[in-house]
């Protein structure tokens, strides 16, 4: 990561049109980005499993604790692709037939969060956070 910054500084020196102030500003922006990426990762996610069978979620209602990240595993047991999507959970992922997919959901407040199959809107489910 540190070497990235060194190369970046050298690269900006090569642009003669830049003033020292501009270069300094760019370096600060870059440093913030690099440092935040090095910061320790969030907690381990809580696993939740859902299957798609005959265009239904099984189970149609799942539970997860508040305040912890969640890893939802969706297994598509049907023969056509499904798109697991949720506006409330801010996820969308295509699950090919016969495959499984994992989506990470950020820590949630208590509530009832709707998810659905974007390719077959009648297929709906809820994630309940007590």
Q: Which residues bind another protein (CB under 8 A)?
A: 15, 17-18, 22, 25-26, 29, 32-33, 36-37, 39, 41-42, 45, 69, 71, 79-81, 83, 87-88, 90-97, 99-104, 106-107, 118-121
Neighbours of 64 (CB within 10 A): 21
β-bridge partners, 86: 91
Smallest distance, another protein to C-beta of residue 80, A: 4
Residue whose CB is less far from another protein, 30 or 58? 30
Closer to another protein by Cβ: residue 77 or 101: 101
Minimum distance, C-beta of residue 3 to another protein, in the bound complex (Å) = 20
Which of 62, 113 has the CB closer to another protein? 113
- Smallest gap from residue 39 Cβ to another protein (A): 5
Token pair belonging to 84: 């697991």
CA atoms within 13 A on the CB side of 106: 6
State the pairing for strand pair 82-86/91-95: antiparallel
Which tokens is 66 given?
């508040």
Q: Which one, 58 or 73, has the nearer CB to another protein?
A: 73
Locate 123 and state its tokens: 């297929």
Rounding to the nearest 10 degrees, give the CA dihedral for residues 43, 124, 58, 47.
0
Q: Which is nearer to another protein, 62 or 95 (CB)?
A: 95
Shortest separation between residue 64's beta carbon and another protein, angstroms: 15
What distance in Å separates the CA atoms of residue 95 and residue 11, rounded to the nearest whole number? Answer: 42
């Amino acid at each position: 990561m540190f070497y990235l910054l060194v190369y970046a500084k050298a690269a900006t020196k090569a642009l003669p049109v830049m003033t020292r102030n501009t270069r300094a500003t760019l370096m600060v922006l870059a440093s913030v980005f690099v440092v935040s990426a090095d910061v320790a990762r969030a907690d381990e996610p809580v696993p939740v499993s859902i299957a798609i069978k005959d265009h239904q979620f099984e189970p149609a209602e799942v539970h997860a604790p508040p305040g912890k990240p969640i890893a939802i595993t969706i297994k598509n047991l049907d023969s056509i692709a499904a798109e697991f999507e949720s506006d409330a959970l801010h996820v969308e992922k295509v699950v090919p037939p016969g495959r499984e997919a994992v989506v990470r959901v950020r820590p949630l407040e208590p509530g009832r969060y709707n998810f659905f199959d974007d390719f077959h809107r009648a297929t709906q489910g809820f994630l309940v956070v007590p």
